[in-house]
Amino acid sequence: MTATRIGVRGADPYEVVVGAGVLGELPGLLGDRVRTVAVIGNAALPEITRPLCTVLEQAGYTVHPLPVPEGEAAKEVGVLAGLWSEFARLGVTRSDAVVGVGGGATTDLAGFAAASWLRGVRSVLVPTTLLGMVDAAVGGKTGINVPEGKNLVGAFHPPAGVLCDLSTLISMPHQDYISGLAEVIKAGFIADPAILDLVEDDPEGAAAPSGPHTRELVERAVRVKADVVSADLRESGLREILNYGHTLAHAIEKAEDYRFRHGHAVAIGMVYAAELGRLTGRLSADVVERHRSVLRSVGLPTSYPADAWPALRDAMRVDKKARGATLRFVVLDGLAEPGRLEGPDEELLAAAYREVAQ
């Protein structure tokens, strides 16, 4: 089966290549001007990193594997500083490139390392998780975490290309794959309801990386993100809709010291945002219930402990969508009709949380 190429437009256009067994596309994304490639890879995935390095070496590149910790542990200042030191030791120049291989945390880190080294070097991202393919690796947002919050330090740095090899999904732990489905379902609620239909018609198939709908779900979700970021790279307006469910989600992740799966937090956050929409008269109860039913059908959570609200509300004060002291939420005015809610009062925020509390 041939690869699908989805274009991301803008000042620095690039392609997202989707298919099974498509590692051979990587040299074409790097280009023939690059000589040295620093491969930043999840240390727990040598079975993926090794063949990728072999492909690059056979194409004539000088390859330097740089393993990093798994998951959010990669997105720490100390890890980033270590990469900078390695770049200096290896003599990485502006004509060289960085390849990030792994989940969303790894590609976030690799992208920011590329953005910050010599004020920006070429990068290609090879996400190996569903979450990475449909969210983190597409759109040029890079970042690391600090104790005060997630992704508060970062840069916009569009990659030279993104390579989504669907065969890497087969070995994913089940709950990690399910976590990625939250971002796919989010794309359905904000822009492409056909995604919701696919999941609802066959939840079991949607929840399996080898299922009959995997490629279509990935391609549809990538197209949604590509269309949005093509129109708004720097999150000045439209791009905010991609943060549907993320205000509460990021608060949950911080409260859990980033040990809670991102997609699971987003699932809860989407139900919370849907309840905000319902309580303000913008969204019907039927669409709110559809949030719960479609998320539950694939095994995603839709509630969180009631006594967590004070800590979550405090964590939401540090949110990238906030303007000064004013909180901003992405809400829906209807299916695939995203809007914004600015400065909701405290009782509304608490009332919406009571609807997701367990």
Query: Which pLDDT does position 106 carry in this prediction?
Result: 94
- Whole-angstrom Cα distance, residue 139 to residue 221? 12
Domain parsing of the chain, residue ranges: 4-169, 175-356
In the annotation, is 239 catalytic?
Answer: yes
Mean pLDDT of the chain: 93
Residue with tokens 């039913």: 293
CA angle 271, 136, 210 (to 5 degrees): 80
- Asked if the model's pLDDT at residue 114 lies above 80, the reply is yes
**Span 255-303, pLDDT tens digits:** 998 889 999 999 999 999 999 999 999 999 999 999 999 999 999 999 9
> Does 320 show up as a binding residue in the annotation?
no
Residue 256, Cβ density class (10 Å: 0-12 exposed, 13-18 middle, ≥19 buried): middle
Query: CA distances (Å), 97 to each of 66, 109, 122, in order?
Result: 13, 14, 5
Residue 72, Cβ density class (10 Å: 0-12 exposed, 13-18 middle, ≥19 buried): buried
At residue 137 the predicted structure's pLDDT band, cuts being 50, 70 and 90, is confident
> Does 186 show up as a binding residue in the annotation?
no
> Does 120 show up as a binding residue in the annotation?
no
User: Do 4-169 and 175-356 agree at the fold level?
Assistant: no
In the annotation, is 291 catalytic?
Answer: no
In the annotation, is 183 catalytic?
Answer: yes
**Which residue has better confidence, 234 or 355?**
355
**What's the CATH code, domain 175-356?**
1.20.1090.10
Question: What kind of fold does domain 4-169 have according to CATH?
Answer: Rossmann fold (3.40.50)
Of 40-49, 179-188, 264-273, 305-314, minimum mean pLDDT range: 40-49
pTM of the predicted model as reported, rounded to 2 decimal places: 0.91
Do 251 and 241 meet the contact criterion of CB atoms below 8 Å apart?
no
- Whole-angstrom Cα distance, residue 214 to residue 206? 7
Residue with tokens 């669907």: 166
> Does 262 show up as a binding residue in the annotation?
yes
- Asked if the model's pLDDT at residue 163 lies above 80, the reply is yes
Element (H, E) at 187: helix 174-190
In the annotation, is 64 catalytic?
Answer: no
Q: What is the mean pLDDT of residues 164-178?
A: 94
In the annotation, is 254 catalytic?
Answer: no
In the annotation, is 186 catalytic?
Answer: no
